[in-house]
């Protein structure tokens, strides 16, 4: 079917999957904060997924099976091929060389984006504090990766089944209030989580970045599907972002546009469930 | 010959079926073979029009294609999409009293014959060992690559999308430019030895450093960045740039959703804003997906930059034209588009460019119902790569500045097509690209 071989595929939890893909032109250039676009087969959608690690000519993605494409990807096995992988796309994270103290907060599947970012911040000489959270212990991903990289790591679960009970915003608030010098904060997760959590840092005037995830098509600035409002201005998340100043983002705008295709997404999944033979869909 | 409008709005098959052999030969015989043929000067690449028309009159169709291909690599494309009325046909002497020769139709006729029987591959000059990078696989990139390959150079095209062809694939719909024809033409270019690397975004998957390691570089990245009007309500779900709307349908097959996974919203009522080819294409696609379509344009119909055929076809297909009208806000209800608020425009006397000036009529605001709004108000050069080349001199409108050889301000970097001219036409893109290819070849040989 395609040209990009899945060198390893496995489930991280019931709903979250990890995949290593052979994609040399992406792997050799990818930096923290960037994403790739995957087009599984000819009839498929182009979906953006963060590059969560690289090794030689391979990239790693981690995704939550939420809809047609991600559920299809979840069925793929080691050795299968993808039609297209394009990237790296977007601007790399704004990591400073030197001795800044940075906090990297990941929530849910957003934790997938944290190891590459934490590693880059660490490599640049920063003191890195990680906070990763999930609904429960089973849904927590990449804890080992983060523990190996971060100088300090806090783990939260909503139900208290592991680590600190509560949201990732808890430890973040404590750190902000502790009076320690904090230079930058990254928050990556679902829209609502990023919106709420970034309010924690606002009163402290700490530079805070979020990675926005609007619906995309090309990922190269050609369609405007990914337009978001930041600081009152229209920005294209795929070329100007995906990371933006959290305190400038118009969250309402983002979340409204994300819901644009809710009914079509449902229709598409129902159609796929009725047509199981979908893997041999022809390229047209 | 056009297919019946009632029938064609139900599918994406080609609208214009072209000329029959008899019609083509008869049309070619109408050409009076002018001593000083005006038509040639009207063609941006200077095809020897009377010569190829004479070949058709003599029923030497292959000769006709060979003559055209000396100057134009993609006759099946240009015959279909050139704005002939303002180019070759616009200046044909027969047009003064009668109908001009249907030059585009004749060009397409012979190109289609050649394609059906399988074109022979032109010979390339001996290999020079020089490697050239071409960025973008639209008409400009393809034309430049083909010309350089023929001259013996080793050419790699980098394309960011998953299909080559640029606007020919993702912008112009299949009912006007069948995709198998585009693919056929691209294959002809590949047969010359050109390598096309899709999914390669230059500036991201290929670094500027890697790019500049080639003996020469041609930028054919087009004018793909969509402009938005900057009015209220533009971020409502249901508002599209024409680029997004057309890409979802043409490249991703959203007209066959849910068989294909990519959706597109059309709703019952669509308002398209603009008066160019892009607006006509968006309107005609929306019609084919079952919507009632209103096209809003701020000037008069005569001022529309679209090809005449496109305007005529759109009207035949039931697109409602609302001219001298400008949108001032997009209205929403429950996080979806509910309509467009617009104002009537008063048209003044035509300016130096022959187009009318215009200004809003006070108190003429009114609202039109709509579920979807598609903006086709123009586009600029994509900034992705250009931002990484800060030394590149740009024109006032953002396009890349080039001299008559296609040279940019960076050594060994050339540019052509929409990225250099601003959004223009397929044939102009190919013309400027070919000039750059000739200049590159000359430079590499000295
Ligand atoms: C820059 C960026 C990085 C991302 N990184 C990750 C990641 O690392 N892991 C991960 O699990 N998810 C990530 N996402 C979200 C991911 O792209 C969507 O979950 C995915 O497209 C859903 O596709 P689907 O067909 O499975 O679901 P659908 O049924 O199509 O949609 C389900 C949800 O995904 C959103 N969505 C649908 N299509 C798109 C699209 N083309 N682009 C963006 N969002 C869409 C919808 O708003 C909806 O909320 C990222 C998104 C962006 C923009
Ligand atoms: C909807 C529509 C209808 C039109 N109708 C007509 C018509 O009827 N007649 C006519 O003559 N003209 C028409 N035009 C205009 C015509 O299509 C363009 O003038 C022409 O395509 C320009 O060619 P180009 O090669 O310069 O750019 P494009 O065709 O835009 O191709 C540029 C290519 O470069 C790629 N690219 C961009 N950046 C990068 C990067 N960094 N790395 C790799 N690849 C990159 C893009 O993905 C794209 O494939 C129309 C345009 C549109 C949008
Ligand atoms: S290339 Fe276009 S302008 Fe030139 S002769 Fe053909 S149709 Fe006319
Ligand atoms: S101007 Fe018209 S009549 Fe004269 S040579 Fe050209 S096509 Fe023929
Ligand atoms: S995804 Fe098309 S412009 Fe960003």
- A86 inside 8 A of chain B by CB: yes
Give residue A276's pLDDT.
Answer: 65
- B234 inside 8 A of chain A by CB: yes
CA dihedral (B405, B190, A219, B425) positive or negative: positive
Mutating which of B180, B204, B210, B245 best tests the A interface, going by the most A Cβ atoms within 10 A? B204
Q: Give the closest residue (by CA) to ligand 2 atom 9.
A: B81
Mean residue pLDDT across chain A: 91
Cβ proximity of A78 and A16 under 8 Å? no
Give residue B26's pLDDT.
Answer: 96
Calculate how close chain A gets to B359, using CA atoms only, in Å: 26
Confidence of residue A284 (pLDDT cuts 50, 70, 90): very low
Q: Give the closest residue (by CA) to ligand 5 atom 3.
A: A221
Residues 59..118 of B with a Cβ closer than 8 Å to A: which?
none
Give the three-state DSSP class for B245: helix
Q: Give the closest residue (by CA) to ligand 4 atom 1.
A: B92
- Other CB atoms within a 10 A radius of the CB of residue A262 amount to 10
More confident position, B246 or A274: B246
Give residue B120's pLDDT.
Answer: 78
Alpha helices in B236-276 (DSSP H): 242-246
Does the distance separating the beta carbons of B237 and A260 come in below 8 Å? yes
Give residue A2's pLDDT.
Answer: 58
Q: How far is Cα A23 from Cα A179, in angstroms, rounded to an integer? A: 44
pLDDT at A281 over 80: no
Does the distance separating the beta carbons of A86 and B160 come in below 8 Å? yes
Give residue A160's pLDDT.
Answer: 87
Calculate how close chain A gets to B30, using CA atoms only, in Å: 41
Chain A residue with Cα closest to B231: A234
**Of B79, B18, B96, B95, whose CA–CA distance to B43 is shortest?**
B79
Calculate how close chain B gets to A96, using CA atoms only, in Å: 20
End-to-end CA distance of chain B: 50
Question: How do residues A150-186 score in pLDDT, each as one tens digit?
Answer: 999 999 999 988 888 889 898 999 999 998 999 999 9
Give residue A23's pLDDT.
Answer: 95
Q: How far is Cα B430 from Cα B438, in angstroms, rounded to an integer? A: 12
Query: pLDDT tens, position by position, for chain B (446 residues)?
Result: 889 998 899 889 999 999 999 999 999 999 999 999 999 999 998 999 999 999 999 999 999 999 999 888 889 999 999 999 899 999 999 999 889 999 999 999 999 999 998 877 778 889 899 999 999 999 999 999 999 999 999 999 999 999 999 999 999 999 999 999 999 999 999 999 999 999 999 999 999 999 999 999 999 999 999 999 999 999 999 999 999 999 999 999 999 999 999 999 999 999 999 999 999 999 999 999 999 999 999 998 988 999 888 999 999 999 999 999 999 999 999 999 999 999 999 888 777 777 778 889 999 999 999 999 999 999 999 989 999 999 999 998 899 999 999 989 999 999 999 999 998 999 999 999 999 999 999 999 88
């Amino acid at each position: 079917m395609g040209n990009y071989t899945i060198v390893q595929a496995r489930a991280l939890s019931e709903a979250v999957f990890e995949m290593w893909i052979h994609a040399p032109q992406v792997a050799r250039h990818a930096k923290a904060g960037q994403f790739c676009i995957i087009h599984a087969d000819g009839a498929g959608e182009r979906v953006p997924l963060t590059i969560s690690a690289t090794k030689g000519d391979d990239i790693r993605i981690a995704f939550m099976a939420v809809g047609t494409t991600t559920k299809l990807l979840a069925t793929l096995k080691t050795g299968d091929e993808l039609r297209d992988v394009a990237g790296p796309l977007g601007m790399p994270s704004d990591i400073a060389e030197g001795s800044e103290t940075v906090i990297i907060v990941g929530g849910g599947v957003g934790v997938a984006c944290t190891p590459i970012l934490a590693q880059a911040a660490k490599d640049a000489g920063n003191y890195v504090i990680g906070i990763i959270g999930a609904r429960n212990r089973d849904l927590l991903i990449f804890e080992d990766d983060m523990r190996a990289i971060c100088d300090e790591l806090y783990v939260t679960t909503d139900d208290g089944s592991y680590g600190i009970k509560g949201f990732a915003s808890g430890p973040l608030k404590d750190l902000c209030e502790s009076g320690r010098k904090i230079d930058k904060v990254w928050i990556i997760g679902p829209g609502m989580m990023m919106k709420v959590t970034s309010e924690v840092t606002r009163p402290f005037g700490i530079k805070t970045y979020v990675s926005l995830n609007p619906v995309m098509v090309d990922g190269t600035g050609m369609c405007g599907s990914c337009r978001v409002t930041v600081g009152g201005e229209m920005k294209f998340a795929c070329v100007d972002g995906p990371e933006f100043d959290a305190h400038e983002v118009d969250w309402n705008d983002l979340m409204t546009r994300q819901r644009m295709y809710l009914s079509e997404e449902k229709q598409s999944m129902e159609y796929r469930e009725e047509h199981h033979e979908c893997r041999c869909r022809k390229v047209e | 010959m056009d297919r019946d409008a009632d029938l064609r709005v139900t599918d994406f098959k080609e609208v214009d079926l072209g000329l029959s052999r008899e019609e083509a030969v008869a049309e070619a015989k109408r050409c009076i073979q002018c001593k000083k043929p005006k038509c040639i000067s009207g063609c941006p690449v200077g095809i020897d029009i009377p010569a190829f028309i004479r070949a058709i009159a003599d029923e030497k169709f292959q000769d006709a294609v060979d003559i055209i291909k000396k100057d134009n690599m993609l006759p099946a494309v240009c015959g279909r999409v050139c704005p002939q009325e303002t180019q070759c046909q616009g200046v044909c002497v027969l047009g003064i009293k009668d109908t001009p020769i249907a030059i585009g139709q004749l060009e397409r006729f012979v190109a289609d014959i050649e394609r059906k029987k399988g074109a022979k591959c032109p010979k390339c000059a001996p290999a020079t060992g020089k490697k050239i990078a071409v960025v973008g696989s639209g008409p400009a990139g393809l034309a430049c690559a083909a010309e350089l390959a023929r001259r013996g150079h080793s050419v790699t095209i980098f394309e960011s999308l998953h299909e080559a062809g640029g606007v020919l694939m993702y912008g112009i719909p299949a009912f006007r430019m069948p995709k198998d024809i585009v693919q056929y033409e691209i294959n002809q270019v590949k047969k010359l030895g050109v390598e096309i690397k899709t999914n390669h975004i230059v500036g991201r998957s290929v670094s500027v450093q890697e790019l500049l390691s080639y003996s020469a570089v041609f930028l054919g990245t087009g004018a793909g960045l969509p402009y938005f009007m900057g009015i209220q309500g533009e971020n409502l779900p249901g508002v599209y740039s024409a680029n997004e709307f057309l890409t979802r349908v043409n490249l991703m097959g959203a007209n066959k959703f849910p068989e294909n996974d990519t959706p597109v919203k059309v709703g019952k009522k669509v308002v398209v804003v603009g008066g160019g080819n892009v607006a006509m294409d968006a309107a005609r696609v929306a019609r084919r997906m079952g919507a009632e379509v209103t096209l809003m344009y701020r000037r008069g119909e005569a001022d529309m930059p679209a090809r005449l055929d496109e305007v005529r076809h759109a009207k035949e297909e039931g697109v409602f034209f609302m001219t001298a009208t400008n949108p001032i806000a997009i209205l929403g209800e429950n996080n979806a588009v509910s309509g467009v608020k617009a104002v009537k425009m008063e048209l003044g006397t035509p300016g130096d460019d022959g187009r009318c000036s215009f200004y809003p009529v006070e108190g003429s605001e009114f609202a039109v119902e709509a579920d979807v709004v598609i903006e086709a108000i123009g586009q600029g050069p994509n900034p992705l790569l250009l931002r990484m080349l800060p030394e590149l001199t740009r024109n006032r409108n953002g396009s890349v500045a080039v001299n008559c050889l296609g040279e940019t301000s960076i050594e060994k970097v050339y540019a052509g097509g929409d990225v250099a001219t601003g959004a223009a036409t397929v044939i102009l893109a190919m013309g400027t690209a070919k000039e750059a290819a000739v200049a590159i070849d000359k430079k590499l040989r000295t």
